[in-house]
Every structure is written in C-alpha cells, then in structure tokens.
C-alpha cells in the first residue's frame, strides 16, 4: 500500500443506560503502511451486558463494550468506551459512545436512559482554634445551601473528546459526624458583573542592539520589565491607562479597556536602553463564562478568565510589596523581627483566587520569610561575620567573608540604576591590582579598575585594597529558625486579626480607596484601585462554615502477655498511650552496630546509658534487642566526604562480619549535630552497602528529663521496628469501603524537584505501596531519577506493575482493588495525571484475567491559601486529621479524580481519616495520608542520594546535564542490594 493512502477510521458505539447495547459491526477499512508499520483491519466490537453503576447500591444494567472496532498495530486491539448505568433522578436519553479502531467499520448506535442526581457541595478554608481539629471535614451548612437543579457539567465516566476528566461529587456531601464545630474560613467572596469583559494582550519587549565592534542585544532582566512598562504607560496615559491594566511582569497584560496594538518604542533612562514593544491582542474574556462554570451551566474550565482576575487582584500588592511567587511581603520589618547577622523576618501574606460552591473567593493567609536586610555590604559583614569589625578585616576573615557573600544580590552605587548583581565570590587580586582591556575603545587599550571608575563614573574606590565581591544564601541558625517559625505561626485569634488587616490594607489585594501613598523610596505615589476599575468587589468578611468531627477508629495493640488488646483513642488529644502495651508484631534486632559521632565534642554520648535504655524500651514494646555487635566511636569529620564515610562504614561492617557472619541488620548513628554529611551516610549505607540506618542526635539521646527521654526512645523504637519489617499498630476493623474479602493495595506517588535556580539536577519520583491487607502497615518502595523538573512520573505503569507483582509474591494473590494517592500536582496537572499516568498504569497492569478496580485521589498539602476552597462540583474535601498542638491547624485537600469503587463522600472521608492512624512513626494520626507521606520521604531520599553521588563522581562528571544525571542516578539508586536477609532487594523501608 502507498504510505500516503487514507486511513479509514470506524466507530463502534456502545449501548448506554438501561438495556443491552447492540453489536457494533466490523469495518472494512483499507490497510495502510506508515513508517514501515502495517496497519490491519479490525473486527467488530461486541457489546457486553455488564452495566457500570453511577451510584452505589444501584446495580442497573447498562451497555459496556467488549473489544473495539479495529487494531492499531498488529495483534494490539483497542477497547471501546464504557457505558454508564442509570441512576435515580430525572430521566434523559443519551447516546452511547464506543471506542474506535484505526481501520474498523462503524457499528450500530445503542440507546438507553441515564438519570441524573443533583447534589450540594462543600466549602472550606479554615482558621480556627487548634483544639477543634480532630478529624474535621469542612462543609457548608446544608440548610443554607442553594442546591442547583441543573445537570452537572460532566457525568462519572464522560470525557471531553478523547480526554478523561475529573469525576463529580456523587452525592450531597458527607453526613457522618461525631459532632459539629463552627469555623471561620479565611476566604472572602468576590463579586463581579457577568456582563463585563476583560481583554488579554501579549507584550514582547525586545532590547535594542548595542553599539560597538560586535553589536549585541542588551539583556533586560525580568525585574526591569515592570519598571520599563510603567514608563511606557506613564508617557501616554490616554492610550495606555495603567489604572485599568494588570501586568504579570513578563508576557501578558489584562486590560479593562482596549489598548493600541502593534510596535512601539520606549526608553529606559536608568540603563540607557531604548527597547521596542510589541502589543498583540490574544483574547476577549467574558465574566459570564466564569459564572456559568460555577453554576454548572458550562463544563469548560475558565482558566484564562481566572488567570486574568487573579492577576488583577495581585496588581496592587505586587507594585507595593516584595513579590515571591504567590506571596507578598512588606518592605519594612519590625525591630522585634530582626534575627541578627544581617537577616530579618519580613511579614506578609499569600493569596489565591478560586471558584467555590458559593461563588468566586479570594483566599488570604499570613506568611513570614527571612530576607537579607537592605544595608551596605560592609555593614552586613560586620553583623554577619563574627570578629569582622572594619574593612581591613577582609584579609583576616576572607574565608568567612566569601561564605557570607557568595550568591547574594547587591546593588551598585556608581550607576543610576537599581539593577541587582549576584556576588559570585572575591577576586584573588585587590582592586588596585586589577586591570582589563577596554574592547569598545578605539584602539582597544589596557586600564586599571581604579582608573576606570574615576574616568567612567567620576567615582573613587575608597577601599582599593579590598578584593572584588562575589556572594550565597545563608541558612538560618537553629534559634533563628525557631523565631521565624514562631512568627509564622500566630495563635488563631492573632491570625484572624492579621488576615483582616491584610484584606483592608492599602497595599493589600483589594487596593486603596483614595489618596496618596509613600513608596519604599519615600516618594509620593498616587494610589490606584485597579480591582475596582475592573468591576471587581471583595466582601471583607470571612466565610462561616460548619465542620463535622469524625469519630476516630478503634486500634489494636498487644499486652505484655502477647494477647491483642483493643484500645480507644483519647478524643481530646487524639492520641494513644503505649504504656503497658506492646506493638502488634515486634521484629528482633539481633545484630546491629552503634556508631557514635560525638567523640571529639564537648557534649559526648553516654553510650552505656543510651544502649541500656534503648534496649529496655524496645523490650517493653515487644521488640527484642540484643547488645550491639560493634560500638565505633568517632567524630563528625568522618562525615565530611563520601570517601571518609565509606571507609568508616566498611570498617564497621568488616568488624561486624567477624561476629555475625554478614547478618548485620542496622546502623544506629548518634550525631552531635545536624550535619550535611548525613546524605553521605544514607547513600553509602543504603545503596552501596545495603544496610539501613537510624540516626538520632546526642542532645535527644542524653536528655536528662526522664519523661521526654522516654517518649523519644519510644518513637525511636517504633521507627526501628518498622524498618525491620514489624507492625506497630493495627485497626480493629478493616478500612471502610471494602467489605469483601478481596485484597486491597494502596499506592502513594510523589516527585521531588530541585531548587528553582538549579537547572541541571534531575527530579526524583518516589512510589510506595502497601503489601499487607488489611493491616496496611508494611510498605515497599521504588525510587527513580527522571528529567529536570518533570512532574509526570516516567514509567509509572511499569513501576506499578512491579509493585503489583511484589504484592503477589508476598501474598500469593494480586490485589483486586487499588487506591492511588498522588501528591505534588496542581489543578492544572489533573489532566496529566488522569490521561497519562493513570492510562499508563492501566496499560501496564491490565491483563486478560486481571483488571483490578482503581480509585485515584490527589492529595495537596500546601499552604492554606491554595487548599482551603472546595470546588463547586468536583469530588473533593478537606480533612484536618491531626491534633493541632500550636498555631492554626491546616487541613489537607483531597480530590478524587477517578473512582471505580463507587465511594460515597462519607466512605472516602472515613477511609482517608482511618488511614492517617496507620503511620508507623508516632502514636497519633498524621496530617497527610501515609502513602503520600512515605512517597514524599522516598522522593526526598532520592535527592540526598543524588547530592552524595554527584560529589563521589570524578570532577569531569560533577556537573552532568539533567538527562545524564538522571541516567547516572537511576543506576545509583537501583544499586541498592541489601546484604541483610531481613531486607529483600529494593524493599527500602524509609520510616
């Protein structure tokens, strides 16, 4: 066949709703070739009788397709689409939709009835006393809801085109409650006129070519874009009214009035540049589209109009405050927030604009961040470097000065510009000894740095014997970290007051009412209310919501005699006590080594007391622990390099092998302080030797306070038992939602990305899975490196297949039900998770005789700003499962994207809450469901492995590209081959 021949594509239709669908006939499409591959004809699709119920306990029959109408590649048949069974409510008639083959004929159309059900929806965003938060699900007061009678935009299994979309809430929300609490939600209702429109423009700023022998384009930093654009607008306010525009700082402008399009000239006086502007109209956006979406009349996500309105709400604070992502910080700090060493805590807020069940809402939350103070460099060094008292101390303190300055951004004072420059370090020569060639001079000539500054800027270098500067971000001292944490965690009453102040502030998101404002340079500036000019108004009262308190599950431990004992959770503090009780399954620790890194420190470990108390605590908890086979005493210097760490651990293993014949189970490492060398310890031990580690600090091991020390040793014992494969606690009743005897596996997945300014390091995907149903207390993990900042998990299907096969090997049966928790993705990435990762998983694990049902849930644990809003109709909820000891508790946000188990709201909320009690690390429920929590730990562990592995490589390989680093780390991570019989290969237990 000619490879340019038309490809005949047929469609087989599936019956949908009541009754059985009819057979779809096979097509007789032409056979084509493409790129050397043969496409062949496919047979007709046969309709199956199995209906897929839309609601639980309503098992009506609906059409469901069998094989699709054609095959894309030889011996690879495609499945047709699924029909949907009827549900109660109003009956409407819809067409069934089938799959298609690449060369199959059209089938007959099946018809049936589908009945829709209406529901209410949640609302939630909290800022309330921490004592309330013990399994609280946030919802609107049901009596006050205006329930829409309209059909929701999308049914359970509907798709848009060939794309799967998130499912809708299956009911009116949960009703199970052990009590209710009133909550003030930190979101403010936003009103707008649906008939209004805004205009979306793209602006390109092109720098002018510089003059000289080799003309080049002058680079315009991002921070200069807004200042240059403000100059352009101020030059012609009639055509470019800045009070009716919002700019994202890079490419896009949203305007309430039409702007002139085309190319314009501008001038940047501060940097002597004349950039060119090109303004292009992208789209005209109507507020009515957003209103239709929130009310359920429109199925398309109005992301463009939301982006524009969100930018409008940020316009005022971004021009008045320091912008960091979605956060805005004051340019002044309180004197009480001075952390010393040239650093201060700056207060501000985070904001987000989201659709909710009650309309559009602005969410605000308090935030605090450490910044370098605005001060001369020499003054900064006097504060930051111990012993630095004057400029002449640079030579004596050069190493400390370089450490303090490297990476910092500084302003220069010899120009009329506010452009920042990062400090890379100090030059080897002093300023008076530095010379360079002036390339733009005719003819080129050599000049000295001091001479150049005098000729060019009429400036004299005052300290001509100081090396040129170059600069890094400094980590806060532990005490300063605690102070910053205290500032960022006010009491609920204080947080409420702070949020109210922010929403009414002149430099806040709502903007000023009228008058003038002083800028950070003390220059008067006319205040402009961009929000009001766009026809947007914000109700400055918080939303009141009702929270349901869920009853905690009953737990199972053992008494010292060995018999199981049912215990009940303390409802006031939401925790349980281990006194007089044992873990459910304690694994013996017979062969272990103690490595004490405090040999040369003033505060040394009392090793005898530590070993004795640890063994006694483990014994009390039913975990038999023998004396260590090796005790090695050394200093933290052995963690300074990979080579030193490798030599130390090799020596310990060699000594231990003479006593336990290669059966060493664990390194217990006591460190004098938190140290960067911990990554070397973890990487060498867990990937090159194959022995797990348990680290702790001397100050905790030596704690003289008996009660605190006892609690610390209990937590240490729980971690050790989990790493050995034991089970600390189990639920009395199996997890809700799974009444049958079929096996269930829970999967958690997360991706850890490098720092924003890092452009080469790979990202790391961590995937974990439970292996013991119904206890769900044991996990196996898979860790893989992938491309830089790639959020999609590469080979997610193959990873899940590996985990399913591991489950089958350990239990002699494959799991029939799978629940996947995905972490670290935003709403904009839901489509990727559904249509790429989920489909990859199904393609990998599905077989002719094995098709487990799958539920996919996204867990978002970010700050309250992005997560305290419930979608108008998607299947999501907020759960605050932890007991808040201090500050304001923040809930986790769960969104069910796909559900083949037909969970009700009550069932899924109770399932997630009970799962939070199964963490192996503590005796209280955790704030995030454990599969996600462990996946996050695994992905972060991959980052530690990478950093250690890169320093171990030869200098030529020290800075690999993202792809080569990913390949290198894929080999390094999967090199984990434990020598201990207690740990099967690649079952890395990171508790």
Query: Which CATH number goes with the domain that contains 771?
Result: 3.30.420.10
- How would residue 901 be classed by pLDDT, with cut points 50, 70 and 90? very high
CA-to-CA distance for 22 and 48, rounded, in angstroms?
9
Residue 415 backbone dihedrals phi, psi, to 5 degrees = -115, 165
More confident residue, 114 or 719: 719
- In this structure, the answer to whether residues 805 and 953 fall within a common structural domain is yes
- In this structure, the answer to whether residues 773 and 883 fall within a common structural domain is yes
Q: Specify the range with the lowest mean pLDDT, choosing from 73-82, 564-573, 797-806, 873-882.
A: 73-82
Q: Give the H or E element holding residue 799.
A: helix 796-811
Q: Are strands 730-731 and 409-411 parallel, antiparallel or unpaired?
A: unpaired
- In this structure, the answer to whether residues 314 and 213 fall within a common structural domain is yes
**pLDDT tens, residue by residue, 308-353:** 999 999 988 988 888 887 889 988 888 888 887 778 888 999 998 8
The stretches of 902-956 forming alpha helices (DSSP H) are 905-915, 930-952
- The tokens describing 272, both together, are 């002597």
- How would residue 53 be classed by pLDDT, with cut points 50, 70 and 90? very low
Mean pLDDT: which of 111-120, 176-185, 818-827 is highest?
Answer: 818-827
Tell me the percentage of the chain whose pLDDT exceeds 90.
37
- In this structure, the answer to whether residues 767 and 683 fall within a common structural domain is no
**pLDDT tens, residue by residue, 927-955:** 899 999 999 999 999 999 999 988 876 54
- In this structure, the answer to whether residues 228 and 312 fall within a common structural domain is yes
pLDDT of residue 4: 39
Q: Specify the range with the lowest mean pLDDT, choosing from 569-573, 772-776, 833-837.
A: 569-573
Range of the domain at 200: 193-321
Residue 632 has pLDDT above 70, yes or no: yes
- CA distances in angstroms from 277 to 230, 241, 257, 262, 428, listed in the order given: 12, 16, 19, 8, 42
Its sign, for the CA torsion 427, 430, 433, 434, is positive
- Structural domain ending residue among the three candidates 63, 82, 117: 117
The SS3 of residue 531 is helix
pLDDT of residue 583: 94
Count how many Cα atoms sit within 13 Å of the Cα of residue 656 in the half-sphere of its side chain: 27
Neighbours of 455 (CB within 10 A): 11
- In this structure, the answer to whether residues 789 and 896 fall within a common structural domain is yes
Beta strands in 814-915 (DSSP E): 817-823, 853-860, 876-880, 892-899
CA-to-CA distance for 985 and 989, rounded, in angstroms?
11
pLDDT of residue 428: 64
Contact 131, 52 (CB under 8 A): no
pLDDT of residue 20: 35
CA-to-CA distance for 180 and 171, rounded, in angstroms?
20
Q: Specify the range with the lowest mean pLDDT, choosing from 210-219, 289-298, 450-459, 495-504.
A: 210-219
Residue 111 has pLDDT above 60, yes or no: no
The SS3 of residue 574 is coil
- In this structure, the answer to whether residues 718 and 819 fall within a common structural domain is no
**pLDDT tens, residue by residue, 162-211:** 788 899 888 888 888 888 888 888 889 999 999 999 999 998 887 765 55
- How would residue 358 be classed by pLDDT, with cut points 50, 70 and 90? confident
Mean pLDDT of all residues belonging to the chain? 74
DSSP state of 207: P
Number of structural domains in the chain = 4
- Structural domain ending residue among the three candidates 321, 349, 384: 321
More confident residue, 958 or 24: 958
**pLDDT tens, residue by residue, 14-23:** 333 333 333 3
Mean pLDDT: which of 86-90, 305-309, 457-461 is highest?
Answer: 305-309
Residue 148 has pLDDT above 60, yes or no: no
- In this structure, the answer to whether residues 787 and 926 fall within a common structural domain is yes
- Answer whether residue 546 is part of any domain: no
CA-to-CA distance for 932 and 856, rounded, in angstroms?
12
* Interacting residues of 165 by C-beta distance below 8 A, sequence separation 6+: 154, 158, 159, 831, 834
Partners of 768 in the beta sheet? 748, 781
Beta strands in 373-509 (DSSP E): 409-411, 420-422, 435-438, 445-448
More confident residue, 246 or 863: 246
- Answer whether residue 345 is part of any domain: no
- Answer whether residue 285 is part of any domain: yes
Question: Residue 824: which of 912, 915, 763 has the closest Cα?
Answer: 763
- Answer whether residue 600 is part of any domain: yes
- In this structure, the answer to whether residues 783 and 675 fall within a common structural domain is no
pLDDT of residue 625: 96
Residue 852 has pLDDT above 60, yes or no: yes
- Answer whether residue 852 is part of any domain: yes
Residue 261 has pLDDT above 60, yes or no: yes
CA angle, residues 987, 636, 659, in degrees to nearest 5:
55
CA-to-CA distance for 531 and 889, rounded, in angstroms?
31
Residue 843 has pLDDT above 50, yes or no: yes
- In this structure, the answer to whether residues 711 and 741 fall within a common structural domain is no
The SS3 of residue 189 is strand
- In this structure, the answer to whether residues 774 and 899 fall within a common structural domain is yes
Q: Give the H or E element holding residue 751.
A: strand 744-752
- Answer whether residue 332 is part of any domain: no
- Answer whether residue 516 is part of any domain: no
- The tokens describing 921, both together, are 């690390």
- Answer whether residue 750 is part of any domain: yes
Q: Give the H or E element holding residue 479.
A: helix 478-488
- The tokens describing 431, both together, are 């300023």
DSSP state of 23: P
- Structural domain ending residue among the three candidates 321, 355, 389: 321
- The tokens describing 615, both together, are 């063994």
Mean pLDDT to the nearest integer, 810-837: 94
- The tokens describing 874, both together, are 């998607």
- In this structure, the answer to whether residues 681 and 798 fall within a common structural domain is no
Contact 875, 298 (CB under 8 A): no
Tell me the percentage of the chain whose pLDDT exceeds 70.
66
- The tokens describing 666, both together, are 């664990």
Q: Specify the range with the lowest mean pLDDT, choosing from 285-299, 644-658, 666-680.
A: 285-299
Q: How far apart are the first and last CA of the chain?
A: 59
**pLDDT tens, residue by residue, 66-88:** 333 333 333 333 333 333 333 33
CA-to-CA distance for 204 and 214, rounded, in angstroms?
24
Mean pLDDT to the nearest integer, 865-875: 64
Q: CATH no. for residue 637?
A: 3.40.50.2300
DSSP for 605-645 reads --HHHHHHHHHHHHHHTT--BPPPSEEEE--GGGGSSHHHH
Residue 515 has pLDDT above 60, yes or no: no
- The tokens describing 35, both together, are 């790129």
CA-to-CA distance for 327 and 322, rounded, in angstroms?
8
Partners of 328 in the beta sheet? 323, 349
CA-to-CA distance for 619 and 133, rounded, in angstroms?
34
């Amino acid at each position: 066949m000619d490879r340019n021949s038309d490809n005949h594509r047929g469609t087989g239709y599936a019956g949908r709703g009541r009754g059985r669908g009819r057979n779809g006939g096979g097509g007789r499409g032409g056979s084509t070739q493409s790129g050397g591959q043969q496409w062949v004809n496919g047979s007709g699709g046969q309709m199956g009788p199995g209906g897929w119920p839309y609601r639980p306990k309503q098992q009506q029959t609906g059409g469901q397709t069998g094989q699709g109408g054609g095959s894309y590649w030889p011996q690879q048949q495609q499945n047709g689409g699924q029909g949907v069974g009827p549900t109660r409510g109003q009956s409407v008639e819809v067409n069934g939709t089938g799959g298609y083959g690449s060369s199959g004929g059209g089938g007959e159309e099946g018809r049936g009835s589908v009945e829709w059900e209406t529901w209410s929806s949640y609302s939630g965003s909290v800022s309330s006393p921490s004592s309330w938060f013990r399994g609280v699900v946030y919802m609107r007061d049901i009596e006050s809801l205006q329930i829409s009678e309209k059909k929701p935009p999308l049914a359970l299994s509907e798709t848009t085109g060939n794309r799967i979309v998130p499912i809708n809430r299956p009911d009116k929300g949960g009703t199970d409650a052990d009590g209710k609490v009133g909550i003030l939600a930190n979101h403010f209702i936003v009103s707008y006129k649906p008939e209004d429109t805004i205009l979306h423009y793209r602006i390109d700023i092109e720098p002018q070519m510089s003059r000289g022998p080799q003309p080049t384009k002058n680079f315009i930093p991002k921070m200069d874009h807004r200042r240059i654009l403000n100059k352009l607008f101020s030059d012609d306010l009639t055509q470019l009214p800045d009070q009716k525009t919002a700019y994202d700082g890079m490419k896009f402008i949203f305007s309430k009035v039409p702007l002139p399009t085309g190319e314009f000239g501008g001038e940047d006086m501060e940097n002597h540049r004349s950039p060119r502007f090109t303004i292009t109209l992208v789209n005209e956006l109507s507020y009515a589209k957003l209103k239709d979406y929130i009310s359920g009349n429109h199925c398309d996500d109005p992301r463009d109009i939301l982006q524009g309105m969100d930018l409008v709400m940020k316009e005022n604070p971004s021009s008045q405050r320091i912008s960091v992502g979605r956060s805005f910080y004051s340019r002044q700090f309180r004197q009480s927030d001075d952390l010393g060493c040239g650093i201060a805590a700056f207060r501000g807020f985070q904001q987000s604009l989201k659709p909710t069940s009650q309309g559009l809402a602005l969410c605000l939350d308090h935030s605090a961040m450490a910044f370098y103070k605005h001060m001369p460099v020499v003054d900064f060094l006097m504060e930051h470097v111990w012993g630095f008292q004057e400029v002449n101390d640079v030579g004596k303190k050069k190493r400390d000065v370089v450490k303090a300055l490297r990476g910092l951004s500084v302003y220069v004072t010899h120009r009329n510009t506010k452009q920042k420059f990062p400090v890379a370090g100090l030059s080897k020569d002093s300023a008076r000894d530095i010379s360079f060639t002036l390339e733009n001079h005719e003819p080129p000539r050599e000049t000295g740095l001091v001479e150049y500054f005098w000729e060019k800027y009429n400036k004299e270098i005052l300290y001509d014997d100081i090396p040129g500067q170059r600069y890094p971000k400094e980590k806060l001292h532990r005490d300063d970290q605690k102070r910053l944490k205290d500032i960022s965690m006010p009491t609920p009453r204080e947080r409420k007051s702070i949020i109210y102040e922010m929403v009414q502030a002149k430099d806040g998101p709502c903007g000023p009412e009228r008058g003038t404002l002083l800028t950070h340079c003390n220059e008067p500036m006319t205040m402009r209310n961009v929000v009001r000019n766009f026809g947007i108004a914000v109700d400055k009262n918080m939303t009141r919501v009702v929270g349901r308190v869920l009853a905690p599950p009953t737990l199972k431990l053992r008494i010292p005699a060995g018999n199981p004992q049912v215990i009940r959770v303390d409802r006031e503090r939401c925790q349980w006590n281990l006194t007089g009780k044992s873990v459910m399954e304690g694994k013996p620790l017979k062969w272990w080594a103690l490595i004490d890194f405090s040999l040369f420190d003033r505060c040394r470990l009392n090793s005898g007391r530590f070993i004795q108390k640890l063994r006694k605590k483990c014994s009390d908890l039913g975990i038999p622990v023998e004396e260590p086979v090796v005790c090695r005493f050394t200093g933290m210097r052995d963690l300074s390099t990979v080579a030193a760490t490798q030599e130390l651990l090799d020596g310990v293993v060699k000594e231990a092998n003479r006593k336990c014949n290669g059966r060493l189970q664990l390194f217990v490492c006591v460190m004098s302080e938190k140290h960067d060398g911990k990554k070397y310890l973890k990487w060498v031990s867990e990937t090159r030797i194959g022995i797990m580690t348990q680290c702790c600090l001397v100050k905790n091991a030596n704690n003289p306070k008996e009660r605190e020390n006892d609690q610390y040793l209990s937590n240490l014992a729980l971690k050790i038992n989990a790493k050995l494969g034991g089970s600390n606690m189990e639920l009395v009743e199996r997890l809700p939602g799974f009444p049958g005897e079929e096996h269930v596996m829970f999967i958690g997945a997360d991706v850890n990305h490098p720092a924003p300014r890092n452009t080469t390091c790979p990202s790391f995907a961590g995937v974990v899975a439970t292996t013991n149903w119904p206890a769900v207390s044991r996990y196996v993990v898979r860790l893989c490196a992938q491309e830089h900042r790639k959020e999609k998990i590469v080979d997610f299907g193959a990873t899940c297949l590996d985990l399913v096969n591991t489950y089958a090997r350990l239990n002699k049966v494959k799991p029939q039900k799978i629940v996947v928790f995905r972490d670290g993705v935003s709403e904009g990435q839901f489509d990727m998770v559904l249509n790429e990762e989920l489909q990859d998983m199904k393609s990998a694990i599905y077989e002719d005789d094995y098709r487990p049902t799958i539920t996919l849930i996204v867990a978002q644990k970010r700050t309250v700003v992005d997560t305290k809003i419930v979608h108008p109709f998607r299947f999501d909820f907020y759960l605050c499962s932890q007991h808040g000891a201090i500050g304001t508790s923040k809930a986790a946000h769960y969104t069910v994207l796909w559900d083949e188990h037909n969970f009700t709201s009550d069932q899924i909320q109770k399932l997630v809450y009970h799962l939070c009690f199964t963490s192996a690390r503590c005796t209280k429920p955790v704030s995030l469901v454990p599969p996600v929590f462990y996946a996050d730990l695994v992905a972060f562990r991959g980052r530690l492995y990478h950093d250690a592995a890169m320093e171990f490589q030869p200098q030529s390989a020290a800075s690999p590209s993202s792809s080569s680093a990913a390949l290198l780390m894929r080999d390094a991570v999967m090199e984990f081959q434990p020598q201990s019989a207690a740990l099967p290969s690649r079952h890395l237990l990171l508790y």
